[in-house]
Structure formats: C-alpha cells, structure tokens
A and B are shown apart, each in its own frame.
Chain A
Amino acid sequence: MVVQALIDQGVDTVFGYPGGAVLPIYDEIFQQNSIKHILVRHEQGAVHAAEGYARATGKPGVCLVTSGPGATNAVTGLTDALMDSIPIVVLTGQVPTFMIGSDAFQEADTVGITRPCTKHNWLVKETDKLSGVIHEAFHVATAGRPGPVLIDIPKDVQFATGTYETLKPSTSHYQPQVKGDMEAITELVAAIETAKRPIFYTGGGVINSGPGASQLLRELVDATGFPITSTLMGLGSYPASGKHWMGMLGMHGLYEANMAMHDCDLMINIGARFDDRITGRIDAFSPKSKKAHIDIDPSSINKVIKADIPIVGDVGHVLEDILKVWKSRGRKTNQSALAQWWSKIEEWKSVDCLKFTQTGKTIKPQHALARLEALTKDHDRYICTEVGQHQMWAAQYLNFEDPNRWMTSGGLGTMGYGFPASIGVQMGHPEALVINVAGEASWLMNMQELGTAMQFNLPVKQFILNNERLGMVRQWQELLHGERYSHSWSESLPDFVKLAEAFGAKGIICSDPDDLDDAIMEMINHDGPVLFDCLVEKHENCFPMIPSGKAHNEMLLGEADTQGVIDAKGSVLV
C-alpha cells in the first residue's frame, strides 16, 4: 500500500535505511521495480540526500527509516528542511500500536520529537487511513511554503491489509493563498514607477515557487532596470551574468549589495525573510526605504521588519500580476534618478570587494574557487556546500546562472549537509557534474556516505578546501575572542587520498597553485566519486563581513579593518 501510494505520487527515488519496524515496507520495495531505493549509511544522510534531490529537481524528496534511532537520526535533516522550506516526506516505522507507550524495543515518541521540526506529522493507527494520509502528506509538503512532513507507521499497520484510496485532487482544508491582493500590488507598482533608488532583494522563495517565477523575475528586473541582490538561498534565480546583478547580500555579502540595501528608497523583498544574517543591526537596517514584502507565509511578514506594502501570495503569481499592472500603466520608471543610482552603485562596485592576490606557493581558497569556477562553468553543473568559510567563498566566487543549481544549508547551517545532498542531486541528475564544496571538518561529519556514492556509482566530486581549521569558528575567535583559538583546530585529520582509496574511490591531493588546474581537470574527468583534498591557506579570513550587531554600512572589507570592531553588545549575537 505504501509503495503504491508513492508510485501514484510520482516518486522514483527513496533514500532510506531499514530496520525491524519497517521490514514490511522493505519487503514491498523488494518486490517491485518502479522505485529505486538508495541505501544510505546514516539516516541523517538520507534526509539531506532527499533535500538535495528536492532542491535540484523541484520534486519532493522521500525517505524511509526505521523507528527509534532511525527516526531520531533524521531529526537534524528535518530541522534543516524546515528552516530552508524544502519539501520532503519522511516515512518512519513505529512499534506496533498495541505496544506504543510501553518503552518497547526501539520505541521513540517520533511524532512528539519531530512536531517542532516538521511542517506537519501524522501517526497512522489504521491501515484504511494510510494511503489517504500519504497523499495528504505530499500535498502539505509542497503546498504553500514547502517543508518537511513525517508519517509514523506502526508495524502492525504496515502488515494489515486495508482499502487503498487512489489519488484525487486534494480536499484538504489546507489551501494556502497564492494570489496576491491586487490593491497592494497596484500600490507597489506605483512605488516602482517613482522610486529613485530601488532594489530587488530576493530569496529562496523565488526558487521554491518554481522555474516560472525565476523567469518572471528576470523579465521584471530587466524591464525596470532595477538592481537586484539575493540571499544565500536565492542564488541563481537571477543570473550572475545578468546586467543588473549585484551579487549576494548579508553578513558575507558584497559591498555594493549591502551599501545599496542601506541607501535604497524602495526595497522589494521577494520571497526572502529578513533573516538576521541579512539585516545586521535591525534599527539601522535600510533606514530610508519603503519596504514591500512578498511572501507566501503570512507569518514572515512583519516578523522582523515592518513592511509598508505587505503582499501575501506565491511569488510566481504575484510577479505575474505586478508585470501585468506595470505594463498596463505604461511601463514607467524614474529614468533619470535610476541613472544616478546606478552610477552610485558603480562607484561601490569599483571597490572590488572580492579582490585577492594569489601569491606564493600556498593556494588561497578564493583562488581555488575561482579556478573551479573557470574550469566548470560550461558544464551542466550543480553545486552543494557544507557549512563554514568555504560555503561563503563558494557563494561569492562561483556564479549561478539558473535556479535549482545551488544546494546549501542556510537557515540551520548544518555541517555534514553537503556530501549527502550531492548524492541526492546526482540521483536527480545522473549525467550532470555535481560538486560539493566542503571544509575538511564538515565533510568528516557525514563521510560514511562515500560508501553510498560507491555502491550506486554516483560520480559526486568532493572538493575539500582543507585549512586544517574549523575556519569560520577560528575567524570569530580571532575577531571576537582575542585570538584564543579554543578547539578550532582540525586535529588528527585522515589522509584523504588513502581514505578515498579505502572505499575504492579516487583521491587527489593538491597543495601547489601551479598544479591546481590539472588537478581540477583530473577530478572532472574521472568517472566516479572523487575526494579532492585541496590544501589551502590556513588563516585566511572571509571578507567582506558585517560583524554581528553592526549595520550594512559598517562592513569590514579586509584585515586592515578588523581592529576592535565588535563591541561587547555585538559579541553576544551569533
């Protein structure tokens, strides 16, 4: 019944790990060929893989894990998916209904534990309800603001036979509003027509709304000629090569993007949520602007920053209406003011905040990424990352031309996300070049998945920027804690080449800038998983940086700016 419901939902891939409480479902899986099951090496890996698959394909990712420890191992992935609004459906086994509450072997209160880290969850106690709940789960995971859902299925419910409910159009009371209020949309269009210093600030919501939304965004940006910046989660919705692109904003965003956010007079937030990594000090956040906020989740609006023009609706629908109204009113913008605004932006751009010089015999991490970009940009390429400095450098130095090609853990910042996510992406796009830009410490958190990559012939490339440090932690300790580097060393690191070989994969080590291009080419050309150990400068800091508790125009651009920058008030912030 479970497998039938999944097939009817169009599921082709399930990431999972078996155990006593899900044996009946695994038995069903054994006896069919429509669904591919990817055996991971740890349940956290299954959830991140499903997230990667979902982000790269736009379809919900599916996981199947056992009760007790299987379910608790999935919790980090669920929380990650909730924070980043990723649609995934997790099926967990549970002890039989008559044993629930008895502290049975491998019993855990799975719906209780996962209630705060799922969009919704169900414990199904009757077999007749099972298929209906599975269909409803897919609806809830994907409708409105997407998110993770979990279905807990006791073993006796799996064994029993019941009536199967076929897939019908959803009758659920859960039907989030997708069309924006026309009055508010017209108000926004009027603001667009007169704005002197406008800016589009876009986020993951554009990507979640589907490729059509990115298309409409491009049309609107190019037609109005307004500058655009994006959060970490929204990269790719507007192409990095686009004329109006200013680069990422936020704590490690580009100088021009943050300065423009600070000085703008009209901010159009599309599918972003004024996260604290973006706003910096709230009372100094873009003080002179009128703020429009488009979001499908009403709770995002006015949560952090008061919106002057709130629009609740799906980004795609709202963008379509904005374009329609703006065109019908004669496609007006304030041309002369815009020209002045752009010349100001060009001034900020000329600071060239990402410049670096590769000198000497040690590879700078920025250089490694610039070369990776140059050598892979013409490929059908998908990028995942782990969490840390390398993640921020990847966002800064790699260019994204299309949505769904950038998979990173934004809201939760989960070390160990990238490797399993890359496995999920490769499952969704078997022919593509899938690269995980990793830090050595993060990568070790889910390194066991190398077994999965080998078993299923998934040629994922693990590009490790190895600074032998918990680099981001070290950077904060340098700036905030008087260079007292408490436990931010990566001690006793493995020999990554030998580690790869132990799994039967290919290992490459590179420490000389002169060898870098050849080594990267060797990685790309190898047909199979590669572990690339790129030894980089150990104490490089990630700039620009807006220190916690500071405003957008108080950015640090380089080492020279770092003297005594973070005051006591800022240091309590994370």
Chain B
Amino acid sequence: MSALKIKKGATSHSAYNLRPTFSDVEERHTLAVLVENEPGVLARVIGLFSGRGYNIESLTVAEVDHTGHLSRITIVTLGTPQVIEQIKAQLGRIVSVHEVHDLTVEGPSVERELAMFKVTGQGDKRVEALRLADIFRANVVDSTLESFVFEITGAPDKIDAFADLMRPLGLAEVARTGVAALPRGD
C-alpha cells in the first residue's frame, strides 16, 4: 500500500536526541538531599540518576542526625535548567526523601572536598612537590624515602589545580571524597 522505503542507516540515531530542550546551556548545581537513613535509600537516589539518564559529577553521603535517622546526600550534577528542575522534582518524589535543596540557587554556600595524593619520586621533583604542597596548605600524612601522601581540603577547583601541578612531579594515586556543602550564614 504505502511505497515508503526507509534508507539504510537512517534510523541509527536515538529518538531521545530529537527531544528539544528549553535551554541548551548546561549548568552545574550542588544539591543537598536529606533522606531517611534506611537500607536501600542510596540505591533509590543513584537508580533515579542512572534510570533517567542524569549526570552525577560527585556524590557524598553520611548520617548527619542519628536520633532523627537522617542522612545527607550531597550531589553535584550537570544539566540544562529544565533537567535540573526535573532532577529536583524527581528526588522530591522519592518517599524516603525529606528535603531537597539546590545550594547553587538558594544563596551563597561553601563547598569543600578532601583529597589524598600519593606522589613518588626523588631529588628535585620531591623537593618541588613538598614546596607546592606547602603553598596549597596540604599536609603530609605519610612519607617514605621515595614517596609522600598529601592530604588536602578545599573547593574542588583548588584540588584540581593541585592535581595538575603534582602530575609531572610523579603523581601515582589519587583518592577524593567528593563535595560536601553547606549554605553560608544562617
């Protein structure tokens, strides 16, 4: 009946690429999510992000209120304004979620991350690593004749900058906690 022929390869794109968005500009937002501290709650939050195709740049979680059974999850995510709004609404729908705060829009906030860097080397490089660590206020928490472990806290871009400097000096291993954040003032 219909003579329509689809060219081979014409259907290789995902349908989801065709979906228009309100604004194409992606923004980075830090969300603080207060959740019931119960088994599986982290899986619910992570499952939401993977199931709906949202980004997670970093995620930290720990109990913050023992008597109230509340944990705080701090998520740094990337998305268009519409996607960010969806993420917040979808998080709010999870029955175990008590509160969702977008620290990026709710006024000024402070963000900190802790990281550990193992740097191996000898001679000048070793001296230079130690000197830079001092400038960045990183502490030496372990040392051998051929390595240091530095501990550093700060905003994520400070840690990125430190990592960039350590790389040519023998950076061997990195561990980062992800961002914890609080609003400023009261």
Contact = CB atoms under 8 A, between A and B. Distances in A.
A568 B10 contact: yes
Contact of A116 (B1, B6, B51): B51
Given A564-B4, A566-B4, A572-B15, A112 B43 contact: yes
A282 B20 contact: yes
Interface stretch (A44-52, A336-344, A480-488): A480-488
Contacts of B95: 119-120, 140, 174
B89 interface: yes
Contact of B96 (A120, A559, A565): A120
Contacts of A549: 18
A282 B92 CA distance: 26
Given A116-B47, A116-B51, A297-B93, A479 B2 contact: yes
Interface string B7-18: 100110111001
A299 B4 contact: no
B93 A564 contact: no
Given A123-B39, A303-B86, A574 B4 contact: no
A394 B156 CA distance: 58
A306 interface: yes
B1 A568 contact: no
Contacts of A282: 19-20
Interface string A108-122: 000110011001100
A355 interface: no
B40 A283 contact: no
A569 interface: yes
Contacts of B89: 297-299, 301, 303
Interface in A281-322: 282-283, 297-299, 301-303, 306
A302 to B, nearest CB: 6
Nearest to B91: A299
B86 A573 contact: no
Nearest to A282: B20
B27 to A, nearest CB: 16
Nearest to B38: A122
A354 to B, nearest CB: 20
B82 interface: yes
A571 B86 contact: no
A479 B44 CA distance: 41
B66 interface: no
Interface string B23-67: 000000000000010011001100100010000000000000000
Secondary structure call for the B interface: loop
A563 interface: yes
A306 B15 contact: no
A564 B51 contact: no
Contact of A563 (B4, B11, B85, B94): B4
A571 B6 contact: yes
Contact of A568 (B6, B19, B51, B96): B6
Interface string A75-119: 000000000000000000000000000000000000110011001
A478 B93 contact: no
B40 A480 contact: no
Contacts of B96: 120
Nearest to A144: B93
B98 interface: yes
Nearest to A174: B95
B18 A564 contact: no
Contacts of B184: none
- Which residue among B6, B39, B90 has the maximum number of chain A CB atoms within 10 Å of its CB? B6
B135 interface: no
B96 to A, nearest CB: 7
Interface of B: 1-7, 10-11, 13-15, 18-20, 22, 36, 39-40, 43-44, 47, 51, 82, 85-86, 89-90, 92-96, 98
Given A299-B86, A303-B89, A562-B1, 15 more contacts: A116-B51, A123-B40, A282-B20, A297-B89, A298-B92, A302-B86, A479-B2, A482-B3, A549-B18, A563-B3, A563-B4, A564-B4, A568-B11, A571-B6, A573-B18
The 9 residue pairs across chains A and B that have the minimum distance between CB atoms: A299-B89, A568-B10, A120-B95, A573-B15, A298-B89, A572-B11, A572-B15, A562-B2, A564-B4
8 contacts: A174-B95, A299-B86, A299-B93, A482-B2, A563-B2, A568-B7, A571-B10, A573-B15
